[in-house]
A and B are shown apart, each in its own frame.
Chain A
């Protein structure tokens, strides 16, 4: 054969190549058998684990009770209409979403309630929580439930699902203390390896619901869902039942709380009532208030807008977050500062009706002056010049130290999210805030609780209680929280002088009334107190915030109160009678 015509590739090499191919494919076949037949069970197990979705189910929240067991926050059965996406399975996600929307609008027409779901919400649910029921109408009423149940057969894929909603049986009572809850979106937290879905859980958003959220929150349970190739749920079973969270028992006394709120009704103001020995808060109220039930199952935009635009700020807890000039209720603090600085308890001062310091003139409540009076009578008559003079003699530092010792200018430590510190001004603070030096006039203003001094009603209740007992307590709402208190760092004799003065504010000195005489009328125990009328604003916008702080009984007090009413007439005229009513209620209740 001609060399040119002989193929350059030998037939043998073709056969060798075929053998290589056959060997290669056979090798793949053998290894595939290992994976698909020999080890298939392992891979199937791994796959099954991937096909099971773990769902974290929310535990039921504990209740909130007052000190006697009255229920302030509870849980009620709630009925929702849900939609199971599995029933609307279509070839594409978009078609599934459209089928669900169509079905929802059919049900909406039947029960006469529009669909609350946006197109986006439906698609988000399909993308993220396909295996879970979609809550369409939460917390429906009896009528809607009746209509739906009657026609349920017409709406395959929809079901009535029971869940739990928060309920506040006393309505607006102690709303600022209890707070309210909201609902998280049911998404597993990023990085949560354990669960694929989380049923939406109630979360405290404000007040005790927020502060003790993790305490009251139930122990979550676990449910498993078996999903098919497209992620629709086929079967579900419970692995771990969720558990109810513990109840939160409060120091609050509903009887006192109710009386406090009755006295505040129609006013803008706040009141704090504490046990000055243990620090337990017996009542804490702010007016105007709101009904936390309006936040269930979710706060509607209209109601939210109403709360947000109301100039009286109903959501603000004025008792712990409202900053007020304490006015003359601060005078016991000034008195202690003066006595500690060496002012003799019987030393008299001649009040002429004004106090002049440089170019500044401060008027006394008594036009022509109180004449000669000592520190006890100065408290009883609430004499401004006396305390201005006393503070100037004692010096700024002495007053500031005393104020801080009474817990002013610092958070009280109450177990509530809102706990304003207030302001105890001094030279450094004024320079930092206003870029101005500290003038003696500032001290004179502070001496009578005006100027830049700011405190909350809770802080002032604590001051009153501290005078009565000699101890500064940390207020608390949880009944079994430990008692925290520190002794006042003052000579007992000095505190006793102030106690005398505060007793005379209510009881008089046998010859004349004290400014707070209305504070003790008809109360079965002796009451000590102090009035305050803080003037704020100038000219047309001049208003008076009227205070009364008190503790009772005068010896070994068991209750301390502070109340402020905005735009009142005077502490003695406006607020003292209201506090008196609160005290009567407290001691009628068998003495708390």
Chain B
């Protein structure tokens, strides 16, 4: 046990606890601004959730992942896909998306399950996988395993979750060397397609574009109206200050007016005066609440904490001698990184607005528990880094 504690990554653990504390304070501040009493106690339920998450974290960390990852990955994946189907059938609708099953969001859990399955399959040193890995068949297998849950999540619809799962899976396949040449080409093509889409939206929405032509382009684009609007706001942030443009504008005012040292905890004006959209101030836009109240000092400290967490994850992957452990650490840290990057970047208009929580800071029980479980497994990889079992 003492040896285990020695190999326990205390720095990563401390970073996580600090992030939970920051999140709880931010949720307290955002919740207080709401008139509904329901939200005033949200910070307390966040702590309770974190406590539950911590128990799971420690269990997963001190148990040997090599024993449970391979055994649990396939059943967990099957259950997750079953939940995703169930949520489409009987789930409840919140803000236009069908994401909830009873008290949790299956899409969050499924991200962990997909990464675990990919890690246990492509990370194993077995002969069959070794043969499969460099081939297109290896890629096809991975594509099906990721694609089925991704499509189900996309149907909810939850574009944000899909957008973080895909880079995590791609990072895993790339570092595992699955169909390397084909994959690189594919990623390049995807990037070109995304740029082309951006260009097409620009052509359709630029000032002075002829209406008929714009309409034609819009009909050809595979974007829903609200997505088109968000891309438009991203390209022309000042053109339309209602609706999506208003959200971005208020997000930037929140963050920018925080200045260097912030306005003080609980004193954020845009949040408390309800300029910041209330429906998402505790979730997707919570970074604005935090950055307004703590300023650049606070937001760079937050980035540093995330950096500590993510680089510790990379270190665990680096020191691990086991392919599955490494691959899991790579996949899950990439997932967390994607969440952090996209969430903060959208708040300052670097990427189009996408519904996506900021790990540990946003209020959301399923996601918090999911992330803590994932980090627990990474901790287990750190503890059980030796080759012997």
Contact = CB atoms under 8 A, between A and B. Distances in A.
Interface in B116-165: 122-127, 130, 133
Contacts of A5: 125, 387
B176 A8 contact: yes
A24 B273 CA distance: 32
A9 B256 contact: no
23 contacts: A7-B320, A7-B322, A9-B323, A14-B318, A14-B330, A17-B171, A18-B315, A25-B303, A25-B310, A28-B303, A28-B340, A29-B299, A36-B255, A36-B295, A36-B299, A39-B256, A42-B256, A43-B256, A47-B270, A94-B37, A127-B35, A229-B271, A229-B272
A100 to B, nearest CB: 16
Contact of B255 (A10, A21, A32): A32
Given A29-B303, A231-B272, 6 more contacts: A8-B177, A21-B311, A25-B310, A36-B256, A40-B260, A92-B40
Interface of B is mostly: helix
B307 A22 contact: yes
Contact of A25 (B263, B307, B322, B350): B307
Interface in B307-348: 307, 310-311, 314-315, 317-318, 320-323, 326-327, 329-330, 333-334, 337, 340-341, 344-345, 348
Contacts of A29: 299-300, 303
Interface in A3-34: 3-11, 13-15, 17-18, 20-22, 24-25, 28-29, 31-33
Contacts of B203: none
A105 interface: no
A9 B175 contact: yes
Interface in A31-63: 31-33, 35-37, 39-40, 42-44, 46-47, 50-51
Most buried by A among B35, B258, B321: B258
Contacts of B348: 31-32, 35
A507 interface: no
A40 B256 contact: yes
Contacts of A6: 125
Closest 5 CB pairs of A and B: A43-B256, A18-B314, A47-B257, A8-B323, A36-B296
A9 B252 contact: no
B115 interface: no
Contacts of A9: 123, 175-176, 317, 323, 326-327, 330
Contact of A17 (B259, B330, B341, B387): B330
B327 A8 contact: yes
Contacts of B295: 36
Nearest to B267: A229
A453 B2 CA distance: 112
Nearest to B177: A8
Most buried by B among A24, A35, A127: A35
A14 B256 contact: no
A490 interface: no
B255 A43 contact: yes
A10 B175 CA distance: 7
A93 to B, nearest CB: 5
Most buried by A among B254, B317, B327, B330: B317
A228 B255 CA distance: 18
B351 to A, nearest CB: 11
B100 interface: no
A36 B320 CA distance: 39
B269 interface: yes
Contacts of A21: 307, 310-311, 314, 333, 337
A497 B319 CA distance: 125
B273 A44 contact: no
Interface in B33-80: 35, 37, 40
Contact of A44 (B123, B257, B334, B344): B257
A588 B270 CA distance: 72
A51 B260 contact: no
A49 to B, nearest CB: 10
Interface of B: 32, 35, 37, 40, 122-127, 130, 133, 171, 174-177, 252-260, 263, 266-273, 275, 291, 295-296, 299-300, 303, 306-307, 310-311, 314-315, 317-318, 320-323, 326-327, 329-330, 333-334, 337, 340-341, 344-345, 348, 350, 387
Contacts of B307: 21-22, 25
B272 A230 contact: yes
Contacts of B32: 91
Contact of A43 (B253, B318, B337): B253
Contacts of B310: 18, 21, 25
Interface residues of A, number: 46
B311 A31 contact: no
A26 to B, nearest CB: 8
Interface string A101-136: 000000000000000000000000001000000000
Interface string A47-85: 100110000000000000000000000000000000000
Nearest to B259: A40
Contacts of B269: 47, 50-51, 228-229
A10 B348 CA distance: 35
Contacts of B315: 14, 18
Contacts of B122: 8
Contacts of B303: 25, 28-29, 32
Contacts of A28: 303, 340-341, 344-345
B37 A92 contact: yes
Contacts of B124: 8
Nearest to B174: A13
Nearest to B123: A8
A339 B337 CA distance: 103
A227 B303 CA distance: 32
A32 B300 contact: yes
A496 to B, nearest CB: 73
Contacts of A25: 303, 306-307, 310, 340-341
Contacts of B126: 4
Contacts of A7: 125, 320-323, 326
Nearest to A127: B35
Contact of B273 (A3, A127, A231): A231
Given A9-B175, A21-B310, A40-B259, A46 B253 contact: yes
A242 to B, nearest CB: 27
B67 to A, nearest CB: 18
B253 A50 contact: yes
A476 to B, nearest CB: 48
B317 A93 contact: no
Contacts of B291: 32, 36
A475 to B, nearest CB: 51
A15 B270 contact: no
B213 to A, nearest CB: 33
Nearest to B269: A229
Contacts of B300: 29, 32-33
A31 B127 CA distance: 47
B38 to A, nearest CB: 11
B245 to A, nearest CB: 14
A32 B296 contact: yes
A5 B300 CA distance: 41
A33 B256 CA distance: 9
A227 B260 CA distance: 22
A515 B253 CA distance: 86
A371 B157 CA distance: 101
Nearest to A50: B275
B314 A33 contact: no
A44 B318 CA distance: 44
